Amino acid sequence: MTDTAAPPISGPEAAARIRAGLPHEPCISGAVEILKVCADLTRMKILLALRGREMRVADLARVAGISESAASHQLRLLRAHQIVAFRKEGRTAWYRLADHHVATLLQNALDHAHEGHGS
């Protein structure tokens, strides 16, 4: 299915209007960085495991099939890009998706992939 919300456009004036309506470059760059960070099979498994729940590093490592050290590394990267958040309970860190935007991004990616494979 294609996005047909607007009629086709053509010509330099139309392209200039579209370009003027784009978000500012830093916003676009930030979106690109978020998508790059999410574009990793291990990190995607971690993110999908966190949908609707909090989990510890050890359990996320088991889900992703990696060591706790490797899971911690991936979580640091995801935290640095504000894709996941955590809270401390004693010595235990409980990780979760940072907000509903991340959950929506994941669901949209899964929906799009599902449609593309026809399954």
Residue 2 pLDDT: 56
Q: Which residues share a beta bridge with 93?
A: 88
State the architecture of 12-117 in CATH terms.
Orthogonal Bundle (1.10)
Q: Which residue has the tokens 């729940």?
A: 53
Residue 9 pLDDT: 85
Which tens digit of pLDDT belongs to each residue from 51-97? 999 999 999 999 999 999 999 999 999 999 999 999 999 999 999 99
Which tens digit of pLDDT belongs to each residue from 2-28? 556 778 889 999 999 999 999 999 999
Work out the pLDDT band at 119, boundaries 50, 70, 90: low
Residue 99 pLDDT: 97
Q: Which residue in 39, 2, 111 sits closest to 119, CA to CA? A: 111
H or E stretch including 44? helix 41-49
Sign of CA dihedral 97, 102, 108, 112: negative
Residue 3 pLDDT: 58
Q: DSSP letters along 59-119, please? A: HHHHHHTS-HHHHHHHHHHHHHTTSEEEEEETTEEEEEESSHHHHHHHHHHHHHHHHHHT-
Q: What tokens appear for 46 in the block?
A: 């971690």
